[in-house]
């Protein structure tokens, strides 16, 4: 192939070469041939090696079966034929080229010029490579019978297409820029290559889609049929998986979903499933395998670091990374075509003879580059979002699995708030980083391309451009390091705040009852203030970097043009416009750098946090030696056991443990509060760190915890706990647990949805559901941690008889109990004291052998002395004389027979609809009022006009500076310049400086408004939440509130102001472009107006679907957080039942439900942008065609060139306007969700401004109920029905009744948790509805049923408001029997209390609650089953303490232990919300038919055998 003579601009060194008579081609042609030859040579070597290896392996292996002729077969055949055709074409062209070259050089000397050699090498290597590839596909690939093409092969085809397109571009540039006549042979090769490359790429990806079904069927051999069925179902229902090439190219596969979304409001059921590869099931195995391969240290341990975690993620989504890299490369090349050719266009418009025939070719090249730019960008963006979704799913799944397997020490070191932040914020951030993953190489590549173009136009002055670009980029290092520090501190503060918020939301009821909610709100506000200080620093630092980077292109232009002036390089309008267009494109890498660095910093912080979490210690699997069912006679054996919750503690929690329980034995565990009873069960479960000894367990286990753990969801699902429904067995379990009557009353029976933590069930109902769950599992070993304490005497008797003695008669049962009456039924009793087994044996054997059990029994007998008032003439003495399990069964049976009346349930909290509704989400367009509220919240919106004015001024000055450069530069080097070079530069510098100042003002105002707005939103939302009535917390899972306080608040803190700014700024820029373009060709409006209308029609059509998809993303996120929080809380129960896999599977389903709307939302956005890009390309094409059609000289070429320079950005900016608007509408949903919670109905005022209550009110403590009717909602039945009772002051009142009779509702009415509907409550003649809530609640005291402690110290738990001195606190501790225990601690009153008080036993927590009321010493005290969690001896001590400290107070006691109310001055017996009996205990007991007598008789019968 003869190489033509090159012509080049005089500014290039090439001119000097030409002057010396040396022929050479421009550098791009040489590079192109060199790169092509190298790439094809590597391919040829790789395939040759593969064929040699395959030949050897075939001698050892039988050939594989032929592939089934599926959809992929047709594509494979097309690919093979295309490869042969291309190989034949390349062989012919290479032969022709070599012959021509040989003939041209015969008689000449040597090999010729380097570029000629490179051209021949390229031709020969192409022919060899494609021949080998065709042979490989024909022989080896077909023999292996595969339908999918290997990923490296598909990547090669993509690269080949890129090289082919690049060759077309270089040849076009050679013809236009260098006036080289490109041979027809080259054009022919280019045409064949582009066509073949496109066909191969389509075939490669379509064959992969066709093979998906086949691969699933192959995997069936390994994974089993059921998994394959699931995979195939997923594949069939994903719109993306089955789409054809054109549909994928244009995103038309989204059409169906848009049609549905336009017709109706989308629900989650309308959103199609994910492709198997995007689901957790498809991702997790490979991610875990990659992570384990990278982190295993050989000894079985794992050391996860942020770097290893990143590598595992990269390996998991490597295909997406590779394919997006190709798209990003095509995009980067395409965006520089315009700036490169702008000089040629100006010369053409100026009538340059050399360019006279190139107009149409220029237009075609401009438009082709735009098409490639649009297509590559759209698919690049879509694929990176898909990769981000995959990364997030993989991380959340791994974190969840880690979370439910953490050891107790790890749980203490990492709070639930921190874990929630990891899955809600950190995993999100890593997913978002996929947008930035190619910036590392793209930014240097794009800068290099820009400098290449600048060098070709401005020569040596481009070195100045390089220098200043590097300086600008380096100048960001320090601010970015500062930003990283601020970001880390901000996240740490957020963790602390979320941890505190989570704890407060869990315990909101006790805070309301005590009147402490505003004190705890102030704690949250204080934590937020620390967070805000870092937020402020972070925002202002980011505003400085924003300023630097908006000004960077202007700064680069000033320095570059200044260098031209100093070096006396002549500037004509073509060069200036080419440089300006290049600077404009250079904005992208310079803008991208700070974003990339900021995101890198955030992502590194998040990866570090995730990695450190994954390094936490897990529960050791070998703590308990688990034997299969039936393999041993011994069910549980502990030998020389020594266990401690704190490995560093001097004294272990449990020591010298030696006992065994044979199969079928009942083992009772008893002892004083804090003696180690619950810890004993924990060591059997393997939950407690083992210091020494051995634990063996034979068979499956079921565990019932002391504090009920109930999942949100249906009652039936809680009982089945993942097992198949067996109706007969299910009915038996409901009978055994006395649940049938409860379910009959509930509006939806066992389909009733339970609120978070069982909020709409009584304590007894929660425990019975827990027991039912354990019974239904049909395990071998049952561990009960005192579940009978939460139920009344009648129910406790029934549960013990039906469950422990009946349904579990043949099972091994270990039960902790404080009820002495349940001890004789045990085959073995373990009496705990100080972490040791003090006594062990049968009841009668150990009763007289030591003082520990005698102490408990003695306390029990003391309690029973109150029953001596009863005359047991009717055979009661037999009950006293009998003993042992048989008599207990008889006595329980008689108790059952004595009372068969219907139990009426309290359904107050359960609405006629479900209590917990689907999360509310707005429907339709986000209202204008949401935007208005956001804009006007800070300073009444006063800063908004200043921000807009600053941006408009910036845009005007930018256009003015570019207009000046275009107008004031000569059209060609021969023309006379309108102004001097120095004037040209000075005016440009002045305009550039003014525009930079505008940007600084804009950035500062925007950040100030953003900071103020986020602060106000936070304070308003939290005030509203803390002032909400208790019914709001009962019906709202805390996950929803936490989601708003973390994710939505984060958006308001850092994103929304920026998004709003982006919308306004891009609209202003778009208007600027249109104004400039219309200066040259007002006719552009003929096309622009209808296309803009089409754009907005598309945007409206799109937003109907996208908005609901974004809302679904928000709604689907809360269940993940809630399920995670629930799983962490109940991890011990989940592990004891062996249900980890079930919960991991549920988490995977929730993750997929979240990923579905997210994935289709990403696709929807690209669907829209593709169509907008197409429309803006039409506008640009029209403008270009119009310009080249005008007669020469009719318009100023420089101004026309300026219009085209701006027009190059039209499609990007038009897409950005709509993109930012849609993004803002999606983001503003966070504001909408926060505003929902700002407008929650509030409780009545905390204090009344009218008459002040006397300081000592209530002085008497008299309570009068007048015709009291209470219900929980207007549509519900009354729970209390016309109560009229007076409780005289300074009396002890006992309130008794079956579970659900209205006892707790009466107490809630007294504290105004729920206000009376009819009637009134008077305390010392003051109607409590006429005074403030805090005025009332601060004068009353309560010890709640669920003992609550907050993270902090013993001091802060006893006195949260800081009202008492140390002496008073110590006195209270001594009174509640905790003084000695606290004195033994090193830190005394400052002894730490961890989250939920988990480092203190339940009994000790109850004693702390007693200490609080002793400190408060109010005139009215309520005990709501306050001694349920303590042993009888401690109960007696508490009763004695209360008698001494509250002798002058009105004490209202709700109790399941009859002895707790027998010494009352008055008893009120409630049944179905009505006061059935109301008198002194003695009078009520005289009437043998009274309900109270029956309750006492029941208790006596089960108790007196001891």
CA dihedral 238, 241, 244, 249 (to 10 degrees): 100
Residues whose CB is less than 8 angstroms from the CB of residue 365 and which lie 6 or more positions away in sequence, other chains included? 169, 172, 176, 337, 341
Which pLDDT score, from 0 to 100, does residue 464 have? 86
What are the counts of helices (DSSP H) followed by strands (DSSP E) for the chain? 56, 24
CA gap 527, 531 in Å, rounded:
6
Q: Looking at 272-276, 565-569, 865-869, which range is the least confident one? A: 865-869
Q: Are the CB atoms for 123 and 129 separated by under 8 Å?
A: no
Residues whose CB is less than 8 angstroms from the CB of residue 1200 and which lie 6 or more positions away in sequence, other chains included? 346, 349, 1080, 1187
Which pLDDT score, from 0 to 100, does residue 757 have? 63
Which pLDDT score, from 0 to 100, does residue 897 have? 36
**Per-residue confidence at 906, pLDDT binned at 50, 70, 90?**
very low
Between 642 and 787, name the one with better pLDDT: 642
Residue 920 reports pLDDT greater than 70: no
Which pLDDT score, from 0 to 100, does residue 4 have? 35
Residues whose CB is less than 8 angstroms from the CB of residue 822 and which lie 6 or more positions away in sequence, other chains included? 668, 788, 800, 804, 815
Q: Looking at 215-219, 851-855, 1029-1033, 1258-1262, which range is the least confident one? A: 215-219
Residues whose CB is less than 8 angstroms from the CB of residue 1379 and which lie 6 or more positions away in sequence, other chains included? 1370, 1373
* Model pLDDT for residues 793-807, shown as the tens digit of each residue: 677 777 888 888 888
* Three-class secondary structure assignment of 271-305: CCCCCHHHCHHHHHHHHHHHHHHHHECCCCCECCC
- Sequence length of the chain is 1506
Q: Looking at 953-967, 1017-1031, 1182-1196, 1410-1424, which range is the least confident one? A: 1182-1196
Q: Are the CB atoms for 1301 and 1473 separated by under 8 Å?
A: yes
Query: 155 in the Ramachandran plot: left (φ > 0), alpha (ψ -120 to 50) or beta?
Result: alpha
**Per-residue confidence at 502, pLDDT binned at 50, 70, 90?**
confident
- Beta-bridge mates of residue 816: 669, 785
* Averaged pLDDT for residues 989-999: 88
CB burial of 704-736 (b: ≥16 within 10 Å; e: otherwise) equals bbbbbbbbbebbebbbbbebeeeeeebebbbeb
Which helix (H) or strand (E) segment holds residue 1283: the answer is: strand 1280-1287
* Averaged pLDDT for residues 1014-1025: 93
* Model pLDDT for residues 1456-1493, shown as the tens digit of each residue: 667 667 778 888 888 888 888 888 888 888 887 887 88
Count of Cβ atoms closer than 10 Å to residue 1389 Cβ? 18
* Model pLDDT for residues 132-175, shown as the tens digit of each residue: 888 888 776 555 555 567 777 888 888 888 888 888 888 877 77
Which pLDDT score, from 0 to 100, does residue 212 have? 43
Q: Looking at 33-37, 318-322, 627-631, which range is the least confident one? A: 33-37
Which pLDDT score, from 0 to 100, does residue 1116 have? 86
Percent of the chain with pLDDT over 90: 7
Q: Are the CB atoms for 574 and 342 separated by under 8 Å?
A: yes
Closest CA to 29 of 168, 170, 178, 162: 170
Which helix (H) or strand (E) segment holds residue 15: the answer is: helix 13-19
The distance between the two most distant Cα atoms of the chain, rounded to a whole number of Å, is 139
Give the Å distances, CA to CA, from 1502 to 35, 801, 1487.
93, 11, 21
* Model pLDDT for residues 1287-1329, shown as the tens digit of each residue: 888 888 888 877 667 888 888 899 888 888 888 898 888 888 8
CA gap 268, 1064 in Å, rounded:
32
Give the Å distances, CA to CA, from 1495 to 28, 866, 1455, 1457, 1471.
99, 14, 12, 10, 13
Whether the bond between 1210 and the residue before it is cis, its omega within 30 degrees of 0, is: no
Indicate the DSSP class of residue 757.
G
Closest CA to 438 of 301, 248, 595, 303: 595
Structure tokens at 465: 């451009």
Question: 439: buried, middle or exposed (CB in 10 Å: 19+, 13-18, 0-12)?
Answer: buried
Q: 3-state DSSP helix/strand/coil percent for the chain, to nearest 5?
A: 65, 10, 25
Question: 304: buried, middle or exposed (CB in 10 Å: 19+, 13-18, 0-12)?
Answer: buried
Residue 388 reports pLDDT greater than 90: yes
Residues whose CB is less than 8 angstroms from the CB of residue 1298 and which lie 6 or more positions away in sequence, other chains included? 792, 794, 795, 903, 904, 1471
Which pLDDT score, from 0 to 100, does residue 885 have? 39
Residue 1013 reports pLDDT greater than 90: yes
Which pLDDT score, from 0 to 100, does residue 883 have? 37
**Per-residue confidence at 1151, pLDDT binned at 50, 70, 90?**
very high
CA gap 1290, 219 in Å, rounded:
77
CA gap 1219, 1216 in Å, rounded:
5
Which pLDDT score, from 0 to 100, does residue 1017 have? 93
* Averaged pLDDT for residues 615-631: 84
Q: Are the CB atoms for 573 and 1201 separated by under 8 Å?
A: yes
Helix pair 573-614, 462-475: axis angle to 10 deg:
30
Percent of the chain with pLDDT over 70: 84
Residue 387 reports pLDDT greater than 90: yes
- Beta-bridge mates of residue 1295: 1454, 1468
Which pLDDT score, from 0 to 100, does residue 1132 have? 86
Q: What is the mean pLDDT of the chain?
A: 78
Q: Looking at 929-938, 1083-1092, 1169-1178, which range is the least confident one? A: 1083-1092
CA gap 1305, 1454 in Å, rounded:
11
CB burial of 181-207 (b: ≥16 within 10 Å; e: otherwise) equals ebbeebeebbebbbebbbbbbbbbbbb
Indicate the DSSP class of residue 233.
H
Q: Looking at 819-828, 1113-1122, 1177-1186, 1336-1345, which range is the least confident one? A: 1177-1186
Query: 1270 in the Ramachandran plot: left (φ > 0), alpha (ψ -120 to 50) or beta?
Result: beta
**Hey, is 828 helix, strand or coil?**
strand
* Model pLDDT for residues 1036-1045, shown as the tens digit of each residue: 877 788 888 8
Which pLDDT score, from 0 to 100, does residue 743 have? 82
Q: Are the CB atoms for 182 and 174 separated by under 8 Å?
A: yes
* Model pLDDT for residues 181-238, shown as the tens digit of each residue: 777 777 778 888 888 888 888 777 766 555 444 333 333 323 333 333 333 333 336 7
Residue 1282 reports pLDDT greater than 60: yes
- Beta-bridge mates of residue 1461: none
Give the Å distances, CA to CA, from 465 to 336, 468, 553, 577, 821.
16, 5, 10, 15, 90
Which pLDDT score, from 0 to 100, does residue 531 have? 92
Closest CA to 1316 of 1246, 1268, 1245: 1268
* Averaged pLDDT for residues 884-912: 37
Highest mean pLDDT among 820-829, 1071-1080, 1231-1240: 1231-1240
* Three-class secondary structure assignment of 138-197: HHHHHHHCCCCCCHHHHHHHHHHHHHHHHHHHHHHHHHHHCCCCCCHHHHHHHHHHHHHH
Give the Å distances, CA to CA, from 416 to 528, 562, 1039, 1195.
18, 59, 12, 69
CA gap 1436, 1433 in Å, rounded:
5
CA gap 716, 709 in Å, rounded:
15
Give the Å distances, CA to CA, from 796 to 439, 764, 902, 1457.
66, 9, 17, 10
Which pLDDT score, from 0 to 100, does residue 758 have? 66
Closest CA to 245 of 199, 304, 182: 199
* Model pLDDT for residues 63-114, shown as the tens digit of each residue: 333 333 444 556 777 788 788 888 888 887 887 777 677 666 654 444 345 6
Rounded CA Rg of the chain:
40
Which pLDDT score, from 0 to 100, does residue 1019 have? 92
* Model pLDDT for residues 1329-1388, shown as the tens digit of each residue: 888 888 888 888 888 777 788 888 888 888 888 888 888 888 888 888 788 888 888 878
List, in sequence order, every beta strand (DSSP E) within 523-662: 625-627, 634-643, 654-662
Structure tokens at 349: 């418009």
């Amino acid at each position: 192939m003869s190489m033509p003579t090159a012509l080049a601009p005089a500014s290039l060194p090439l001119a000097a070469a030409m002057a010396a008579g040396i022929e050479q081609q421009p550098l791009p042609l040489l590079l192109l041939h060199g790169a092509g030859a190298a790439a094809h040579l590597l391919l040829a070597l790789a395939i040759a090696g593969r064929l040699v290896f395959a030949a050897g392996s075939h001698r050892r292996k039988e050939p594989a079966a032929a592939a089934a002729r599926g959809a992929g077969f047709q594509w494979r055949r097309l690919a093979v034929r295309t490869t042969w055709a291309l190989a034949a074409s390349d062989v012919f062209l290479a032969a022709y080229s070599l012959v021509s070259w040989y003939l041209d050089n015969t008689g000449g000397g040597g090999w010729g010029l380097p570029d000629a050699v490179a051209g021949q090498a390229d031709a020969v290597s192409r022919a060899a490579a494609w021949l080998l590839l065709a042979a490989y596909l024909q022989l080896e690939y077909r023999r292996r019978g595969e339908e999918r093409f290997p990923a490296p092969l598909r990547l090669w085809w993509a690269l080949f297409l890129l090289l082919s397109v690049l060759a077309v571009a270089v040849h076009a540039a050679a013809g236009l820029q260098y006036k080289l006549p490109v041979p027809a042979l080259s054009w022919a090769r280019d045409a064949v290559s582009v066509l073949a490359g496109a066909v191969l790429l389509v075939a490669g990806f379509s064959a992969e889609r066709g093979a998906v079904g086949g691969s699933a069927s192959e995997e069936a051999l390994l994974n089993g049929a059921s998994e394959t069925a699931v995979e195939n179902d997923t594949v069939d229902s994903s719109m993306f998986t089955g789409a054809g090439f054109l549909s994928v190219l244009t995103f038309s596969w989204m059409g169906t979903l848009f049609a549905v979304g336009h017709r109706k409001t989308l629900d989650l059921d309308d959103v199609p499933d994910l492709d198997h590869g995007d689901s957790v099931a498809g991702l997790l195995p490979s991610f875990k395998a990659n992570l384990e391969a990278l982190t295993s240290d050989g000894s079985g341990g794992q050391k996860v670091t942020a770097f290893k975690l990143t590598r595992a993620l990269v390996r998991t989504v490597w295909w997406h990374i590779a394919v997006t890299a190709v798209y990003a490369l095509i995009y980067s090349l395409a965006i520089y075509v315009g700036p490169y050719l702008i000089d040629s266009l100006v010369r053409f418009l100026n009538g340059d003879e050399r360019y006279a025939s190139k107009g149409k070719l220029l237009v075609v090249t401009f438009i082709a580059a735009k098409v490639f730019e649009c297509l590559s960008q759209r698919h690049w963006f879509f694929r990176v979002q898909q990769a981000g979704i995959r990364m997030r799913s993989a991380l959340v799944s791994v974190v969840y699995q880690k979370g439910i397997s953490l050891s107790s020490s790890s749980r203490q070191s990492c709070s639930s708030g921190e874990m929630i932040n990891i899955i809600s914020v950190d995993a999100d951030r890593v997913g978002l980083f996929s947008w930035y993953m190619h910036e590392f190489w793209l930014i240097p590549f794009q800068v290099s391309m820009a400098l290449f173009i600048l060098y070709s136009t401005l020569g040596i002055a481009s070195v100045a451009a390089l220098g200043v670009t590097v300086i600008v980029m380096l100048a960001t290092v320090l601010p970015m390091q500062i930003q990283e520090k601020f970001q880390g501190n901000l996240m740490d503060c957020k963790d602390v705040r979320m941890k505190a918020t989570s704890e407060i939301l869990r315990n909101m009821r006790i805070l309301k009852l005590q009147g402490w909610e505003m004190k705890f709100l102030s704690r949250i506000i204080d934590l937020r203030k620390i967070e805000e200080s870092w937020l402020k620093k972070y925002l202002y630092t980011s505003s400085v970097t924003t300023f630097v980077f908006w000004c960077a292109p202007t700064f680069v232009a000033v320095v570059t043009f200044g260098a031209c002036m100093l070096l006396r390089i002549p500037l004509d309008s073509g060069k200036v416009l080419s440089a300006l267009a290049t600077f404009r494109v250079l904005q992208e890498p310079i803008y991208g750098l700070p974003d990339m660095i900021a995101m890198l910093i955030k992502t590194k912080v998040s990866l570090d946090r995730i990695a450190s979490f994954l390094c936490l210690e897990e529960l050791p699997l070998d703590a308990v030696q688990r034997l299969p069912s039936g393999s041993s006679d011994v069910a549980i054996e502990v030998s020389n056991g020594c266990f401690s919750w704190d490995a560093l503690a001097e004294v272990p929690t449990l020591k010298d443990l030696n006992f065994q329980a044979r199969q079928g034995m009942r083992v009772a565990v008893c002892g004083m509060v804090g003696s180690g009873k619950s810890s004993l069960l924990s060591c059997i479960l393997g939950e407690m760190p083992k210091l020494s000894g051995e634990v063996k367990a034979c068979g499956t286990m079921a565990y019932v915890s002391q504090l009920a753990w109930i999942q949100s969801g249906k009652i039936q699902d809680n009982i089945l706990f993942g097992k198949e429904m067996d109706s007969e067995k299910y009915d038996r379990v409901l009978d055994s647990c006395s649940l049938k009557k409860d379910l009959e009353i509930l509006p939806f029976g066992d389909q009733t949805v339970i609120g978070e933590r069982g909020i709409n069930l009584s304590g007894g109902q929660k425990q019975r559901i827990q027991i039912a769950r354990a019974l239904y599992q049909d395990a071998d070993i049952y561990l009960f941690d005192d579940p009978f304490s939460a139920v009344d005497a009648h129910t406790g008797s029934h549960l013990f008889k039906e469950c422990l003695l009946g349904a579990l008669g043949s099972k091994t049962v270990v039960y902790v109990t404080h009820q002495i009456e349940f001890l004789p039924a045990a085959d073995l009793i373990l009496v705990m004291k100080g972490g040791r087994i003090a006594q062990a044996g049968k009841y009668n054997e150990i009763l007289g052998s030591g003082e520990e059990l005698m102490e408990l029994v003695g306390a029990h007998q003391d309690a029973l002395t109150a029953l001596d008032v009863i005359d047991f003439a009717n055979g009661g003495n037999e009950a006293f004389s009998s003993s042992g399990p048989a008599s207990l069964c008889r006595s329980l049976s008689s108790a059952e027979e004595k009372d068969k009346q219907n139990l009426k349930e309290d359904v107050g909290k359960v609405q006629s609809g479900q209590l917990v509704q689907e999360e509310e989400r707005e429907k339709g367009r986000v209202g204008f009022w949401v935007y208005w509220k956001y804009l006007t919240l800070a300073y009444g919106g006063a800063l908004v006009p200043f921000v807009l004015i600053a941006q408009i001024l910036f845009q005007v000055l930018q256009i003015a500076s570019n207009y000046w450069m275009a107008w004031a530069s000569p059209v060609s080097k021969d023309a006379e310049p309108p102004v001097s070079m120095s004037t040209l530069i000075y005016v440009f510098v002045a305009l550039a400086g003014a525009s930079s100042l505008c940007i600084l003002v804009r950035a500062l105002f925007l950040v100030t408004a953003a900071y103020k707005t986020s602060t106000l939103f936070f304070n308003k939302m939290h005030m509203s939440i803390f002032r909400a009535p208790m019914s709001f917390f009962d019906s709202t899972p805390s996950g929803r509130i936490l989601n708003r306080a973390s994710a939505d608040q984060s958006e308001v803190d850092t994103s929304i102001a920026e998004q709003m700014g982006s919308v306004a700024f891009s609209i202003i820029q778009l208007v600027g472009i249109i104004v400039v373009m219309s200066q040259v060709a007002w006719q552009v409006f003929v096309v622009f107006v209808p296309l803009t209308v089409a754009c907005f029609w598309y945007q409206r059509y799109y937003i109907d679907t996208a908005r609901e998809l974004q809302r679904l993303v928000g709604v689907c996120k809360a269940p993940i957080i809630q399920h995670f929080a629930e799983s962490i809380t109940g991890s011990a129960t989940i592990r004891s039942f062996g249900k980890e896999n079930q919960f991991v599977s549920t988490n995977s389903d929730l993750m997929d439900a979240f990923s579905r709307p997210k994935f289709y939302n990403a696709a929807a956005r690209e669907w829209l942008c593709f169509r907008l890009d197409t429309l803006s390309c039409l506008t640009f094409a029209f403008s270009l065609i119009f310009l080249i059609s005008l007669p020469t000289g009719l318009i100023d070429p420089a101004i026309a060139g300026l219009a085209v320079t701006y027009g190059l950005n039209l499609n990007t900016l038009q897409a950005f306007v709509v993109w930012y608007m849609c993004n803002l509408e999606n983001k503003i949903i966070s504001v909408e969700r926060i505003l929902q919670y700002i407008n929650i109905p509030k409780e009545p005022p905390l204090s009344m401004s009218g008459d002040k209550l006397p300081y000592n009110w209530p002085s008497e403590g008299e309570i009068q109920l007048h015709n009291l009717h209470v219900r929980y909602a207007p549509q519900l039945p009354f729970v209390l029905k016309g109560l009229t009772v007076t409780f005289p002051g300074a009396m002890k009142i006992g309130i008794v009744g079956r579970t659900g009779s209205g006892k707790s509702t009466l107490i809630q009415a007294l504290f105004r948790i729920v206000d009376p509907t009819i009637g009134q409550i008077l305390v010392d003649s003051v109607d409590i509805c006429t005074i403030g809530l805090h005025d009332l609640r601060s004068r009353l005291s309560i010890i709640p049923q669920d003992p609550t402690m907050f993270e902090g110290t013993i001091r802060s738990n006893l006195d949260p408001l800081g009202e008492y001195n140390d002496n008073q606190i110590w006195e209270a501790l001594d009174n509640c029997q905790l003084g000695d225990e606290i004195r033994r601690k090193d830190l005394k009153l400052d002894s730490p209390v961890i989250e939920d008080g988990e480092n203190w036993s339940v009994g000790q927590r109850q004693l702390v609650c007693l200490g609080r009321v002793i400190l408060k010493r109010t005139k009215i005290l309520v005990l709501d089953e306050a001694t349920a969690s303590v042993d009888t001896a401690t109960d007696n001590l508490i009763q004695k303490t209360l008698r001494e400290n509250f002798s002058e107070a009105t004490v209202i006691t709700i109790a399941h232990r009859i002895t707790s109310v027998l010494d009352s001055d008055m008893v009120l017996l409630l049944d179905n919300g009505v006061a059935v009996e109301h008198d002194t205990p003695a009078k009520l007991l005289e009437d043998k038919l009274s309900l109270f007598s029956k309750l006492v008789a029941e208790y006596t019968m089960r108790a007196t055998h001891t």
